[in-house]
């Protein structure tokens, strides 16, 4: 199937029916996933998908339709054109123009991005199964107290995206991804605890199954013998996974769509100091092999690297074509679709808090030295957040936060259960459980006193460990 000819024909047909503009979005995918348990395959899933959607604009009215069958292209076009008769008039509805000389937020765009790994395209299903079996075995072999692996799962996918519009955009690209996740159960005869770890990349060689197994097993073992603590007010270290969860809540307010719909706690704060001055936040659609990386967004606008928060100050919001036109600016290349059945919304590419070099941990205006910087500039997994722990006289390292997703995305208010490790005089003393932290995401980020070097991504969101100033912890 020649998707370019298919798209061009759909756009031409829509224009011939009186539409002012038209855009076709085509997505193909081939996926395979396996879940193993007790050294055997628990579940297999294999699928091939094809979808095409058409967005039309007629007299400032929007029409939209989609199909999974190329033979139904004519019906799809009729439905989109007919739909434009019944939607409300909106002068901001538009599709992007090439060429893209400017990218919003001062982003640096590039025509090259690393998103497709031939090894994933050519990998055999038996190899995926063997990787999942290895993941389970490595977790069990980590320590005799790991008694069970509740789930070990590996998934791969490869496919293509094509975008064609009546203003001249004609682009297609291939992409791939692989994910691995494992959940472990530790039992020492007195207590049982679970651990979990996850990794995703567009490149197979980035997935270290041994490290994933070790991280999940270590977390479960670290929490064995957890005890309750009394209510206290102490500094808190958020492990990178927990910090990423909170950044995910924060990210929803960075969308211009959320601002325009009055669903953002960052409205009217551009240029203002909103969080700790030691924090920089980037959205980077060009990071090699990251899951949010792609050459263009889901409207065909080039992606870029953008500084969203600079030294604690908000520099701007992320936009698609619609929100940018409504705001009188340009798209930042952040149009996203859930799939071909969806209209473009606004979302992050790879959003992360910039880590600090391992040799420099910044606390307000002080600089503390902790040894040489590794050659790659990133702390080893074993070092994780040790540097932050050593800086705390009394506090808690939060390894898990239950219910971060329930935080109010409009106000930023949260109340979550936590488990982790109690710290005294810069050393881990014992694990803790059934504690609660409450507050506001924006206030939490204002209280960041130190930023770690252990940046890790969980999907499209990444963060190093963060040291937060004193917080009330309820028992």
Burial of 15 (0-12, 13-18, 19+ CB in 10 A): middle
> Do strands 466-474 and 448-451 pair parallel, antiparallel, or not at all (unpaired)?
antiparallel
**Chain segment 10-54, per-residue pLDDT in tens:** 999 999 999 999 999 999 999 999 999 999 999 999 999 999 999
302 by DSSP, 3-state: which? strand
97 and 230 assigned to the same domain:
no
Q: In the prediction, which pLDDT does 385 show? A: 72
183 and 230 assigned to the same domain:
no
Range of the domain at 77: 3-222
Query: Does a structural domain hold residue 307?
Result: no
Q: Domain boundary at 222, 238, 271, which?
A: 222
231 and 173 assigned to the same domain:
no
Q: In the prediction, which pLDDT does 386 show? A: 84
232 and 173 assigned to the same domain:
no
Q: Domain boundary at 222, 238, 266, which?
A: 222
7 and 120 assigned to the same domain:
yes
Measure the CA–CA gap between 399 and 414, rounded to whole angstroms. 17
Q: Domain boundary at 206, 222, 238, which?
A: 222
Query: Does a structural domain hold residue 309?
Result: no
Query: Does a structural domain hold residue 305?
Result: no
67 and 216 assigned to the same domain:
yes
64 and 172 assigned to the same domain:
yes
Query: Does a structural domain hold residue 262?
Result: no
**Chain segment 260-285, per-residue pLDDT in tens:** 999 999 999 999 999 999 999 999 99
**Chain segment 115-158, per-residue pLDDT in tens:** 999 999 999 999 999 999 999 999 999 999 999 999 999 999 99
Query: Does a structural domain hold residue 295?
Result: no
Tokens representing 221 are 């073992």
How many domains, in total, are found in the chain? Answer: 2
125 and 23 assigned to the same domain:
yes
pLDDT < 70 stretches in the chain: 1, 99-113, 359-384
138 and 238 assigned to the same domain:
no
Query: Does a structural domain hold residue 273?
Result: no
Q: In the prediction, which pLDDT does 112 show? A: 57
Query: Does a structural domain hold residue 393?
Result: yes
147 and 243 assigned to the same domain:
no
Query: Does a structural domain hold residue 308?
Result: no
Q: For 75-92, give one letter per residue: b (16+ CB within 10 A) or e.
A: ebbebbbebbeeeeeeee
Which CATH number fits the domain that encloses residue 119?
3.30.2290.10
165 and 236 assigned to the same domain:
no
Q: In the prediction, which pLDDT does 2 show? A: 79
214 and 73 assigned to the same domain:
yes
Does 99 sit behind a cis peptide bond, omega within 30 degrees of 0 on the bond before it?
Answer: yes
Q: Where are the alpha helices (DSSP H) in 189-239?
A: 209-222
């Amino acid at each position: 199937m020649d998707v370019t000819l298919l798209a061009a024909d759909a756009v031409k047909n829509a224009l011939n029916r009186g539409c002012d503009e038209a855009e076709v979005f085509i997505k193909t995918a081939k996926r395979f996933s396996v879940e193993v348990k007790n050294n055997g395959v628990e579940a297999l899933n294999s699928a091939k998908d094809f979808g095409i959607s058409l967005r039309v604009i007629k007299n400032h009215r929007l029409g939209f339709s989609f199909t999974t069958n190329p033979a139904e292209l004519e019906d799809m076009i009729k439905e989109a054109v007919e739909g434009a008769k019944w939607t409300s008039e909106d002068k901001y509805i538009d599709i992007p123009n090439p060429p893209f000389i400017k990218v919003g937020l001062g982003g640096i765009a590039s025509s090259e991005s690393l998103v497709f790994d031939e090894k994933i395209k050519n990998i055999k299903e038996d190899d995926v199964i063997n990787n999942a079996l290895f993941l389970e075995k490595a977790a069990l072999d980590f320590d005799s107290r790991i008694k069970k692996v509740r789930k070990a799962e590996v998934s791969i996918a490869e496919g293509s995206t094509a975008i064609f519009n009546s203003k001249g955009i004609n682009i297609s690209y291939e992409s791939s991804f692989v994910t691995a996740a494992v959940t472990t159960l530790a039992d020492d005869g007195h207590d049982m605890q679970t651990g979990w770890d996850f990794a995703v990349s567009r490149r197979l060689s980035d997935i270290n199954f041994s490290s994933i197994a070790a991280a999940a097993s270590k977390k479960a073992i670290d929490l064995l013998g957890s005890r309750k603590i009394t209510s206290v007010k102490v500094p808190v270290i958020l492990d990178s996974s927990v910090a990423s969860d909170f950044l995910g809540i924060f990210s929803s307010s960075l969308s211009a769509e959320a601002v325009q719909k009055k669903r953002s706690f960052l409205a009217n704060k551009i240029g203002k100091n909103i969080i700790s001055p030691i924090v920089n936040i980037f959205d980077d659609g060009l990071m090699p092999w990251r899951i949010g990386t792609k050459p263009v967004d889901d409207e065909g606008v080039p992606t870029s690297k953008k500084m969203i928060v600079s030294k604690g100050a908000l520099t701007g919001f992320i936009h698609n074509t619609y929100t940018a036109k409504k705001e009188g600016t340009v798209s930042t290349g952040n149009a996203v679709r859930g799939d071909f059945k969806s209209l473009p919304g606004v979302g992050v590419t790879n959003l992360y808090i910039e880590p600090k070099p391992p040799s420099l941990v910044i606390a307000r205006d002080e600089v503390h030295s902790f040894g040489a910087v590794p050659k790659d500039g990133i702390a080893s997994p074993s070092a994780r957040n040790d540097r932050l722990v050593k800086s705390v006289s009394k506090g808690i390292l939060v390894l898990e936060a239950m219910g971060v997703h329930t935080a109010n995305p409009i106000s930023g208010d949260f109340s979550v259960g936590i488990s982790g490790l109690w710290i005294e005089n810069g050393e881990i003393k014992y694990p803790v459980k059934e504690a609660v932290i409450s507050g506001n995401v924006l206030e939490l980020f204002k209280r960041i006193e130190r930023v770690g070097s252990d940046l890790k991504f969980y999907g499209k969101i990444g963060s190093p460990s963060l040291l937060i100033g004193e917080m009330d912890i309820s028992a």
